[in-house]
Amino acid sequence: MRIQHLNLRKKRRAARVRARIVIVSERPRLSVFRSNSHLYAQLIDDKQGKTLVSASTLELAKEKKNKTVKAALLGDLLASKAKKAGITKVVFDRGFYKYHGRVKALAESLRNSGITI
């Protein structure tokens, strides 16, 4: 019963986040997936249904740092890839993850790198 309740809360949180996202082709969606050990982020053009840029902490596997620091480094990596692709503004889609910890570190790192969220 408790697991069903938690899953329902996740679905409601994700629906609330996605309802606020205005999908505009000039602003791709920054989708975040957080596993227990890694963090994945990708910029998606919803009009074409294509991934424009993607990055993950797997690319930072050589770094011996904690997960939150790796998330901040991932934000810098994703920002550099996005700038090479000519993207400076994105819509942040955190899914059902709370804006806390690794997700927050990623978003703040992107903002500090010059990407408008």
Instruction: State residue 22's pLDDT score.
Output: 66
Q: Which two tokens mark 70?
A: 């790796």
Fold of 2-112: Nucleotidyltransferase; domain 5 (3.30.420)
Domains of the chain by residue range: 2-112
Instruction: State residue 20's pLDDT score.
Output: 80
Residue ranges of the chain with per-residue pLDDT less than 50:
none
Instruction: State residue 25's pLDDT score.
Output: 59
DSSP for 47-85 reads TTTEEEEEEEGGGGTT----HHHHHHHHHHHHHHHHHHT
Please give the DSSP secondary-structure letter assigned to residue 40. E
Instruction: State residue 24's pLDDT score.
Output: 60
pLDDT tens column, 34-47: 999 999 999 999 88
